Structure 1
Amino acid sequence: MVATLGGQPQVVTLALDALLDRGYPIRELIVVHLSTHNPRYHAALAQLAQAFASGTYRDQPLRYRPYAVAQGSTVIGDIHSEAATDTVLNTFNQLLQQLKQQGRVVHLCISGGRRMLGLLGLAAALIYFDYSDRIWHLYSTDTVRAQTHEGAMLHLPPGTAGVQLLAVPVRPWGNLFSALHLPADASLQTVMNLQGAALDATLHTRCQQVYERLTPRRRDVLRALAAGLTPQEVANQLSIELSTVNSHQGAIYQECQAVWDIEPGRRLDYRWLRETFNRFFTR
């Protein structure tokens, strides 16, 4: 489990308790934090270090590892500039890349600390996570927050109302790019460039599959829509009725839904075709 931390250590332990209650086998807790020059962060880390000092948790082995956001040897104190943002993102890049190269399943809780800390953790997770990994947000009521404020309580009795661990419903890119062989020290920009190229190749393949299934006239309609024309403009250019264009669009949508495995009922329109197929026709 990887968790972001500010001055509220109970966010970490309550999320961990919830994961263990659901049967997830957590064997390591990595807490990502800013500089302990902030007294609240220092106190929160000290409280967690004490809670995990024995190397066990709920009678099971569990390694506790604080992980500072640092540029070189300097731990940053806040996220107040683009340079600090880059440092946080690179920290998550290094950590998550290492964990996934080790074949680890990662649970990321983004509720602790600065909001930007969690958002940047989420951004990195979308790049590296696959469908075995999970991203979580800890919800708690005002009453629970008051009871547990700044570690006054690290745990709640079983069945306590007002606290819930919620899965963040995202589709990570890592599952699409699992075949990429990255150097152990690959920078975030290198990873994003490689994944962008792989994504372009995947998109081109899917567009090609749709294109090959279409009749010559439907290909003409798709090419015109991809070029930025509206359905009425396509009708005018091809000298056909608007209803005919709409009929061809419907057939194109059906092929797209099959190739992209789009859930039934999702509405597609000509703008989606333009954004999806424009580069296919212009590259």
Structure 2
Amino acid sequence: MATRREVLIATLGTQPEVVTVALDLLLEQGHDIQEVVVIHTSSTHPEIRESLRRLDGEFLQGSFYAHASIPCLYRRLELKVKGRRIADIKTWEEAGAVFTTIYREVREQKRRGSLIHLCIAGGRKSMSVYGMATAQLLFDAEDRLWHLFSSKAFEEANLMHPRYPGDAQLVPIPLLPYRALSIPLATLLATDDPLRAIEEQRKLVRAEERRRQREFLEEKLSAPERRVVEALVEEVILHHRSPTNEEIGRKIYLAPRTVANALTRVYDKLRLFLGLPEEVKVDRTLLAALFSSYFAGRLGEPQP
């Protein structure tokens, strides 16, 4: 049975052991890591240069991981903006270059069909933030985003590899990828500009949300039920509070009990439509939250 090629992409700061420890722990878990990509700021900085020197020594000729005695490609990826090395991330232009670099590397690995492990424990905080944003855009259900925790004793020992089980542990960072929202990977890979990709995904998410709203309102509800929902949500939009059954009834000429019965049926249908468990409360507050964007457009109100 064929398995996907696995890659570790790691952000690097002044602690090179972040990369090797993450790699060791992944190998220990049974992952077949075939390539390590290290993303770092300017190699002219003395501390970064020293980190890279120590890492280089772990990978013989850039293709063999000596500690585990396994073939493993090793590649550096230096952050640059317009050809200039980024020593620190202080401007929007530099931050944008960081985001673009991480995004393009992950995007290229996805195009190769790689399973990605992205460790964001090292480097500047902004590198971690943009790593998380990239993961949300491009990851599938099998890719993993990691942080790394180390014991104080291990950090003080300044070693490249853990000695004992308690020295370090990889901690998965949960996220909901855009692909979990049924957005096809082909769409996500269509641009190498992460900011443009985010805007495109927002448009797709809004369109899918509108389609689902319309499907429920027009196909699952009767005309009287739809009128009750519309009246309820419009009152919330206009007056910023949930109306009573009497107020809804006066607006659409129905008795309060008729409104109450209609809402009960709507709640049951919405629970079934969304697949919500019994412990999740379905009420007028949830209705307003789910359908305010749909009815706001019809009222001429700005949509979020």
- With normalisation by structure 1, the TM-score equals 0.86
Bigger Rg, which one: 2
Of 196-205 and 232-241, the range deviating more from structure 2: 232-241
User: Does 2:35 correspond to 1:28?
Assistant: yes
CA distance in 1, matches of 2:18, 2:261: 54
* Relative contact order higher in (CA < 8 Å, ≥ 6 apart): 1
Cα 1:245–1:70 shift into 2, 3 Å: farther
Which of 180, 193, 204 aligns to 1:198? It is 204
Structure 2 match to 1:141? 151
CA distance in 2, matches of 1:167, 1:104: 18
Deviations 1:63-109 (A, max 9, x none): 11111111131121111122221111111221122111222111111
Cα 1:267–1:38 shift into 2, 3 Å: farther
Aligned amino acid, residue 96 of structure 1:
V
* Cα displacement (A) at 1:18: 1.2
Aligned-residue Cα RMSD (Å) equals 2.6
Cα 1:53–1:210 shift into 2, 3 Å: same
User: Does 2:283 correspond to 1:279?
Assistant: no
Flag structure 1 segments of 5+ consecutive residues without an equivalent: none
Deviations 1:2-27 (A, max 9, x none): 11110001111111111111111211
Task: State the secondary structure of the residue aligned to 1:227.
Answer: helix
Deviations 1:174-220 (A, max 9, x none): 34322534676532233223222221222122222322212333322
Structure 1 match to 2:162? 156
Task: State the secondary structure of the residue aligned to 1:166.
Answer: strand
Aligned amino acid, residue 168 of structure 1:
I
CA distance in 2, matches of 1:81, 1:243: 60
User: Does 2:174 correspond to 1:169?
Assistant: yes
CA distance in 1, matches of 2:282, 2:155: 43
Q: Is the 8 A contact 1:139 1:165 kept in 2?
A: yes
Seq. identity, %: 28
Structure 1 match to 2:64? 56
Q: Is the 8 A contact 1:232 1:242 kept in 2?
A: no
User: Does 2:208 correspond to 1:214?
Assistant: no
Deviations 1:42-77 (A, max 9, x none): 111111111012422213221111111111311211
User: Does 2:232 correspond to 1:232?
Assistant: no
Runs of 4+ in 1 over 6 A off after TM superposition: 240-244
User: Does 2:103 correspond to 1:89?
Assistant: no
Task: State the secondary structure of the residue aligned to 1:136.
Answer: strand
Structure 1 match to 2:51? 44
